[in-house]
Amino acid sequence: MTRILGLSAYYHDSAAALLEDGELVAAAQEERFTRQKHEARFPAAAARYCLAGTSLDEVDYVVFYDKPLLKFERMLETHLAYAPNGFNRFRQAMPVWLKEKLWLKKMLRQELSQLSGGDAIPRLLFTQHHQAHAGSAFYCSPFQQSAVLCIDGVGEWATTSAWSGTPDNLKPLWQIDFPHSIGLLYSAFTYYCGFSVNSGEYKLMGLAPYGKPRFVELIKSELISIDPDGTYALNLDYFDYCVGERMISEKFRALFGAPERLPETEITSLYRDLAASIQAITEEVVVKLASSLRRETGHTNLCLAGGVALNCVANGVLRRTGMFEHIWVQPAAGDAGCAIGAAFNVWHEHLGNPKSDTGQDRMKGCLLGPAYDNSIIESELIKAGAKYQKMETQHLLRSTASMLANGNIVGWYQGRMEFGPRALGARSILADARNPNMQQTLNLRIKFRESFRPFAPAVLREHLAKYFVSDQNSPYMMFVDYLVPELRLTPDSKRDGLDRVNEVRSALPGITHLDYSARVQTVGQDDKDPFYQLLLAFQQQTGCAVLINTSFNVRGEPIVQSPLDALRCFHATEMDALVIGSFILHKKDQTTLSIPELQIPAPVMTNAALKKFSRSLAILLSGFALTVVWVNQLPISPWLVLPFLVLFIWGEIIPGHMRAIHRGWHQLGVGLARITSPVIFSLVFFFIITPLGLIQRLVRRSKIHREYKPDRRSTTSNPGFEYPF
């Protein structure tokens, strides 16, 4: 059996995934275990979960989703293109690169050694970032042949890339390179409208229907040039993300006549209209790129990946054009999904295994994470002092459906955890979509988030046409669709702005956005799926085959992973009930519920690392002492090295005692670095980087195309799996 462990880490959304003979058997995001949203550290806990029952020496390949040396090349080329501007960014970035990222192969080997308990580690491979995105899309799709489009902020160089997938290979066609990026353009508007980059883009998408796209022509005339084939270039005078410390420049602020919105302040019409405008621009680019790829490849199927592929509104627009017979979007389209894509690339590209024709996608409904049996769940309930009922399956389903029909909000925790950003009925909060007050209640009392944020409907697949215009399957909640006209209502109020969130616009007001749209999840018939059975029970009781399905978490936290996480979230919110495994908990009964607060452990050095530190420190200090003695021509005594020998032995026997010394040594190093680093990096930047950059620009050899209208496409480099890592 060939096992491949895929990893993504060190930027955001770290994750691990395991393949066994080309079958995806497990995948998880590190944030679910550490409880730190968008966790970037090495996915140790996620990898341990994936390897449960398998030792690392039984894994044949470990593959990383990125090539750090190519990213370092991009960073240097960017500073060469902008020097003498950008010194602060250079000074902030270089210590991280010199200390960690340039030695990433060594860091990975150290982390893997800890996973293996010191045993030999598997062969370590590296894919390119967009290669991993493309692999996650095509090799997980149900298609044998497909065009593949990847759009995100930036990988090593690529920001947009096109591929052609066949059973035998995944061929790169062309790419658009940094600094021109539709993903970074969308993030710039996300930042300007007061939301966080890399996590708030979906808020901007949800805000767009509340505005008017009145800035589209201004954006197209000043900020972005779009060709008929969808390729584009940005006017970089308006942006600061290349070497600055913010996403936008003063020229951007002047163009729209206002500073960026501060978080948590009023969202005025300016920011609502900007959200609508950049959403329209993004849809135009996506549709045009897909159209040119359709003509270029002749493929009738399309796969999408990359952060921009999580824009389900644009996906819905693209699907409604009908230019492709089928569109499949990787449900974990962001960087977490690259762990899966990297692993599949090794199986198919590196090892030469053709893509099999199963007619189904290979994501297994995204149910790839940990599951907990009733014995573990009940143990946690007892420890927390919870009052609960245990029910057989059919009784549990009927009782839950009845609670939902009576207006209760229910936490639903069943089976394996989902992989990716969507809750798909395993770690969900559920409610009745017919309730006109439910959207506001969920946002303010349960999720603690902005009132304008819409909620997604889960609908029985066999009843989809009764509620939504499209009859196409959408199991991963990756497309926006519109309610059928028969269910729509015309509000009789004259509300304006965000107050319109309270308008009743359909017979399913809990899931109906301002433009009658909804991010649909279809739930197919599966008698073994508890979520399908619950929807069926609800439909039988109420005649309605739709439930609100939102992720089981509160704002700022990852989706719950363990039963204790679920109990903690249930306890901290105004959910009415929790259905977890075969147990039901009613909030009104939990008078004695006692759950420990979440403790985020600080990173602790391992004994192996402390031993290494004590050895290095003993050698360094003894060498320094001997040098001083030699320079001053003093007699050498055995007693001179005795303290350092004691330090060495002490560290070997009781390494834990080295923590305080390490902490002091680290603080000393940080203090010295604050003095020396600015001097050293100033000399490097202004006396090496700046002259080289000026010469490079004089002879026009810069790899950074700063022009507003450069050649749009570049040829993709050979992705490979080896150097440069």
Sign of CA dihedral 101, 102, 108, 110: negative
* pLDDT score recorded for residue 640: 66
Query: Would you state the structure tokens that stand for residue 329, as one six-digit string?
Result: 């979007």
Q: Is the separation of the CB atoms in 172 and 296 below 8 Å?
A: no
Is the predicted pLDDT of residue 487 greater than 90, yes or no? Answer: yes
Q: Which of 229-243, 333-347, 682-696 has the lowest mean pLDDT?
A: 682-696
> 233 and 192, same structural domain?
yes
295, 329, 363: which is the final residue of a domain?
A: 329
Q: Is residue 701 part of a domain?
A: no
- When pLDDT is cut at 50, 70 and 90, the band that residue 717 belongs to is low
* pLDDT score recorded for residue 500: 82
Q: What are phi and psi of 235, to 5 degrees?
A: -85, 100
Q: Which of 420-424, 428-432, 562-566, 616-620 has the lowest mean pLDDT?
A: 616-620
Q: Is residue 486 part of a domain?
A: yes
Percent of the chain at pLDDT above 90? 70
* pLDDT score recorded for residue 379: 96
> 570 and 451, same structural domain?
yes
* pLDDT score recorded for residue 624: 74
For the residues of 360-381, what is the DSSP string, one character each? S-SSGGGB-S----HHHHHHHH
- CB-neighbour burial class of residue 253 (10 A; exposed 0-12, middle 13-18, buried 19+): middle
3-class state of residue 430 by DSSP? strand
Largest CA-CA distance found in the chain, in angstroms, rounded: 99
* pLDDT score recorded for residue 580: 98
Q: Is residue 209 part of a domain?
A: yes
Percent of the chain at pLDDT above 70? 96
Q: Is residue 391 part of a domain?
A: yes
> 208 and 255, same structural domain?
yes
Q: Which residues pair with 488 in a beta bridge?
A: 506
Nearest to 45 by CA among 143, 142, 116, 115: 115
Task: Print the domain residue range for 495.
Answer: 374-589
Q: What is the mean pLDDT of the chain?
A: 91
Q: What are phi and psi of 203, to 5 degrees?
A: -70, -40
Looking up residue 179, the CATH number of its domain turns out to be: 3.30.420.40
> 213 and 306, same structural domain?
yes
Residue-wise pLDDT tens digits, 268-285: 999 999 999 999 999 999
The count of structural domains within the chain is 3
> 257 and 186, same structural domain?
yes
Is the predicted pLDDT of residue 514 greater than 70, yes or no? Answer: yes
* pLDDT score recorded for residue 153: 95
598, 619, 653: which is the final residue of a domain?
A: 653
Q: Is residue 360 part of a domain?
A: no
Q: Is the separation of the CB atoms in 280 and 216 below 8 Å?
A: yes
* pLDDT score recorded for residue 605: 66
Q: Is residue 229 part of a domain?
A: yes
Is the predicted pLDDT of residue 511 greater than 80, yes or no? Answer: yes
* pLDDT score recorded for residue 602: 63
* pLDDT score recorded for residue 646: 75
Is the predicted pLDDT of residue 123 greater than 90, yes or no? Answer: yes
> 268 and 198, same structural domain?
yes
Is the predicted pLDDT of residue 111 greater than 60, yes or no? Answer: yes
Average pLDDT over residues 75-87: 93
* pLDDT score recorded for residue 269: 95
- When pLDDT is cut at 50, 70 and 90, the band that residue 725 belongs to is low
Residue-wise pLDDT tens digits, 610-661: 777 777 877 777 777 777 766 776 676 666 667 777 777 777 777 777 777 7
How many Cα atoms occupy the beta-carbon half-sphere of 25 within 13 Å? 18
Greater pLDDT, 488 or 115: 488
Is the predicted pLDDT of residue 690 greater than 80, yes or no? Answer: yes
> 451 and 314, same structural domain?
no
Looking up residue 499, the CATH number of its domain turns out to be: 3.90.870.20
> 637 and 518, same structural domain?
no
Determine the residue type at 481. Answer: D
- When pLDDT is cut at 50, 70 and 90, the band that residue 718 belongs to is low
Is the predicted pLDDT of residue 708 greater than 90, yes or no? Answer: no
> 320 and 382, same structural domain?
no
Q: Is residue 432 part of a domain?
A: yes
* pLDDT score recorded for residue 593: 86
Average pLDDT over residues 60-68: 96
How far apart CA 497 and CA 200 sit, in angstroms, is 20
* pLDDT score recorded for residue 502: 79
300, 329, 358: which is the final residue of a domain?
A: 329
Q: What are phi and psi of 714, to 5 degrees?
A: -125, 155
Average pLDDT over residues 334-341: 97
> 540 and 392, same structural domain?
yes
How far apart CA 431 and CA 511 sit, in angstroms, is 10
Average pLDDT over residues 190-206: 93
Lay out the sheet containing 3-8: strands in order across.
Answer: 23-29, 15-20, 3-8, 61-64, 123-126
pTM of model > 0.75 = yes
> 417 and 323, same structural domain?
no
* pLDDT score recorded for residue 698: 86
Q: Is residue 455 part of a domain?
A: yes
Q: Is the separation of the CB atoms in 426 and 566 below 8 Å?
A: no
- When pLDDT is cut at 50, 70 and 90, the band that residue 724 belongs to is low
> 396 and 315, same structural domain?
no
